[in-house]
Structure 1
Amino acid sequence: MKDHKCEWVLDYINDQLTEEERIEFEQHLKECAECREEVNEIEGMMADVSSHIEEVDPPEGMKERVLHQVFAEETSETNTVTPSKKSFAPLSKVWTGALAAGLLLSIGANVLLGTQLQQLSSDNENLESTLSDIQVALSELEDEQNRNELATASPFERASLSPTEEFGGGGLATMTQRETGYELLVQVQEMEELEEDQVYQVWLIEGQNPVPAGAFVTDDQGNGAVTFEMNEEDDQSWDAIAVTKEPQPNNEQPEGDIVLQAEL
């Protein structure tokens, strides 16, 4: 009786056996000359055709026609040959052809599938790169729009800052309107040198109520500047603007003397 392990030839060639089955089959090969011959024939055919395989899709119905023809030949051989020990030889040839045909179809399908997966992976990488470029471009466009909005300013009031009798220097106060509100720019020159923690403080004045509008220090030539942003709800009818010399920054009420002033 033929050993059932003879049915493992194709699975062994395709490396589909478990480790335990592979060991059993290799032990079986040592004892079965017929299986050794089939394995050697199939491996020889694989070596001959491996360098000539093209990545093509088998014609529709090819596998069915091949197997139909093989099984037809097997049936013919079975009907005409009296079962005996020698009858296994031609039957082995038939199965060898079937195994080879199936193996070639499997190799072609695997190669084609591998190529398609590689192409799909490449397409995904290209798509991710394109999306990343679009996101960067949109971010840059948004930044540019923000810069343009910040850069758009419309000056609507200027006032020259004049020194009081005890101090020198001078300056210019400019009120501009932006998309988000108002901005006050104060620029001064030839101011007296500050000492230690002293700062120059800008005040917007309505009646008798001063509102702090930023502080600054000057360089060694007495030049300095400061900007103060106001929301639309902070818009008031300011009467005057003044600059004082304060002993320290962040005062809520003036402590020092007025050194520059202008009516608005």
Structure 2
Amino acid sequence: MTEHKTCECLLDYFNDTLTDEEKSQFEHHLATCKDCRDELQELNMLTADLPFSAELTEPNEGMKDRILASVFEESEVPEETETPIVIKESKRRNYRWLQPLLAASLLLSLSANAYFYLNQNGQEISNPPREGTDEIVKQVQLAVSEGYEGTAEAAMIKKEEGMALVVQASNLKPLTGNEAYQVWLIDEAGEKFRAGTFRTNTEGKGAVTYSVNYEGEHNWTTIAVTLEPTPDSQQPKGDIVLASQL
């Protein structure tokens, strides 16, 4: 791998999406490349101010129980409660002019990672990632259900052509047979809408990007990930693995 090609792996190294072998190669390169070391240090400093790098607060036990107990109930959805997001304040304010560019780079990298996971598992993507004036309007960390393991983050992204949902998960249990993980959006009326399907790799990681373009007005209140027996369920059949209020 050429030095130039290795330098291009900086964002993937920063996002921790390289394989063990690629990570080892890049860290060897990092020891000899001052430009990459300086840029990595600047990334670590600047992301303290970015909305997408906000510290996510784990919901308390009471909220977690209410979310997991009511996700797929047909009864009235409880009053919406937002999980507070705390933004760190950076001391390096002279770098603020770089933040829009850095935010766009990180968002593009996240979309590319999702594309890689899906394409690796043979799934079609109708809208490949592209540059644009995108804005993150909601970001949540999903709570794991009892008896399962794993973590996931979800972001609702306002794009020029509509709304998109990005979900990244890790440490999920391996799939067997024709199983797949499916993402669902639930509105205030209790209706469930498919919002993407993904399979995990050998490390238990998976991701999906989905264009949310359902007809009519929808006030999305909940997002959930279920373990489905097949990847084509039109309504949830399997167990809830992760969920959160929006």
TM-score range, shorter chain: 0.3 to 0.5
Select the structure with the greater relative contact order (CA < 8 A; seq sep ≥ 6).
Answer: 2
Q: Which has the larger radius of gyration?
A: 1
Higher strand share: 2
Bigger share in helix = 1
Normalised by the size of structure 1, how large is the TM-score? 0.42
**TM superposition score normalised by structure 2:** 0.45
